[in-house]
Amino acid sequence: MSPDKKAIGAHLREVREAPPYWSRADLARLLRQASDPLDRPNLPHVKTLAEMIKNWEYGKYTPNPRYRVLYCRVTGKNEDELFGADVDGRISRRDGLLREPAADIALPQRLSDPIAPELADYFVEQLAGHYRADRYLGALRLIPTGMAQYELLCDLANAARGTLRPRLWSLATGYAAFLGWTYQDGGDIDRSAYWHDVMLERSHRSHDLNLVAFALHNKAMLHADLLDGPGALDLARAALVKQDTLTPKVRVLALQQAAHAMSLIGGQGARDECARLLDEAAALVDQVDDPYPWGGACLTSHYLDIQRATCLVRLAAPAEASANPSAAAEALAIWERIMPDLLTADARRDVGVFRARQAQAYALQGEPRQAVRLAREVVQAADETGSGRMRSELRGLAAYMRPWALEQSGQQLSEMLAPMGGSTWL
């Protein structure tokens, strides 16, 4: 039998730390340089690859066949020397999966072989299934599967010709979008930003304007999470440059993202502009009817109500120059109207985010006890799902609870948030 993951990891670290003494970043660069030129664009960048090397060395995972080949090229050692082999010559993993030795592995096709068009339908179904599973499993559990399928899609797209080639690139874009989203929800912004950049590049290979606009929308959403209103607005407006040629779904997504950007920028007229953008999006929802496996969130119950309430809370924030009590009151009224329906949804992680935003509205309306009551539910959900978005919304709540920092409600919130980094007034 081959060594287990811990033993393999320890050996890989010994190899790296032997003369000429590579750092993980050094080894990451060498692995990239050792890859085939056609495959190199599909590899992670140095920072991400160095983190993968760290996980391999700690025994969390073992390198897949693709990286075993590169390890052999860089170190000059064979697979048995680096990873060990069991009696039938396969690389063994503790999780029970078997991988063929890298020396015996070829791509699923050679460049001269035709690619079956039916594979595209398979990946469409898989991606739709990932989004459904994400609602139950949480994002981070699906990353290994999504990444493996993305890499396979890139192999297929590189080998495909004719009309199938852009279709496969469009699917690779969809998988990159999914990975960017999963890391974003998990709170790993660096990796999320990387996959959003990959998504933008792949979308241009697809020659699909709707997909390019969707990629810009996703990148704008990331900037909104980073509270970069101007950056989010730049990207949302870029997505809408040729909006007359876009499907209703993409226009709805880009318009609501522009509204989020305006709520972050604030200032005179921001509330009216947010309302206009969201009203324009609302007029398009009933027209959404396309075959794309992505972007379906705009069809979920109360989607634009949720966006409107979220924008209003931002506009009512104490730091906002145009803040006024009516924005907070309107946001709270929306949350109280739609929350009974949202609580029946099976996406607990999303409901936790919405509950945190409702708690923010309570705080801005001067109801700290109600805010803390809801926060208690969200803290538990965040712990169970690992959602970085929930934690981010809770930090926003802490900022709105600052006036009650020394009172019982403020102290209760501080105690709840302490395990995830504390409240903003500590």
What's the average model confidence in pLDDT over 89-108?
Answer: 33
Q: Which pLDDT does position 271 carry in this prediction?
A: 93
Segment 203-221 shows an average pLDDT of: 95
pLDDT of res. 207? 93
Q: Measured in whole angstroms, how far is the alpha carbon of residue 223 from the centre of its chain? A: 12
Confidence at residue 85, expressed as pLDDT on a 0 to 100 scale: 52
Q: Which CATH number fits domain 328-426: 3.40.50.261, 1.25.40.10, 2.40.30.10, 3.40.50.300?
A: 1.25.40.10
Secondary structure element (H or E) that encloses residue 118, with its range: helix 118-137
User: How many Cα atoms occupy the beta-carbon half-sphere of 325 within 13 Å?
Assistant: 3
**pLDDT of 89 above 60:** no
Q: Token digits for 337?
A: 């109207």
**pLDDT at residue 112 tops 70:** no
Give residue 273's pLDDT.
96
| Closest to 306 measured CA to CA, from 228, 235, 389, 381 | 389
Of the listed ranges 29-33, 226-230, 277-281, the one predicted with least confidence: 29-33
Strands (E), 57-205: 91-92, 98-99
Across 158-176, average pLDDT: 92
At 361 the pLDDT is 95
38: left (phi over 0), alpha (psi -120 to 50) or beta: alpha
- Among 12-21, 122-131, 159-168, 185-194, the range of highest mean pLDDT: 159-168
pTM for this prediction: 0.71
CA atoms within 13 A on the CB side of 120: 16
Look up tokens 């029946």; give the residue: 344
> What pLDDT does residue 201 have?
92
Tell me if the bond preceding 403 is cis, omega within 30° of 0. no
User: Tens of pLDDT along 240-256?
Assistant: 998 999 999 999 999 99
Q: Would you list the DSSP string of 178-244?
A: HHHHHHHHHT-HHHHHHHHHHHHHHHHHHT-HHHHHHHHHHHHHHHHHTT-HHHHHHHHHHHTTTGG
Q: Print burial letters for 37-69: b (CB count within 10 Å at least 16), e (below 16).
A: eebeebbbebeebbbbbeebbebeebbbbbbbb
Over residues 129-142, the pLDDT tens digits come to 887 777 666 666 77
Nearest residue to 417 (alpha-carbon basis) of 358, 403, 401, 369 = 401
Cβ(177)–Cβ(206) below 8 Å: no
Q: How far apart are CA 268 and CA 228, in angstroms?
A: 18
Whether the per-residue pLDDT at 174 is higher than 60: the answer is: yes
In this prediction, residue 74 carries a pLDDT of: 87
3-state helix, strand, coil in the chain (%, to 5): 70, 0, 25
User: Which of 114-118, 144-148, 222-226 tops mean pLDDT?
Assistant: 222-226
What is the location of CATH 1.25.40.10 in the chain? 328-426
- pLDDT value of position 133: 76
Give bridge partners of residue 91 from the DSSP assignment. 99
Q: Does residue 106 register a pLDDT over 70?
A: no
**Geometric angle at alpha carbon 231, from 226 and 235, rounded to 5°:** 115
**336-391 pLDDT tens trace:** 999 998 887 666 678 899 999 999 999 999 999 999 999 999 998 888 777 888 98
Of residues 165 and 185, more confidence is placed in: 165
Residue 389 is predicted with a pLDDT of 86
Residue 294 in this model has a pLDDT that exceeds 70: yes
Coil/strand/helix, residue 271: helix
Contacts of the segment 160-168: beta carbons below 8 A, 24+ positions apart: 160/115, 161/115, 164/115, 164/117, 164/120, 166/205, 166/206, 166/207, 166/208, 167/120, 167/206, 168/115, 168/119, 168/120, 168/123
pLDDT at position 124 is 87
Report the amino acid identity of residue 174. G
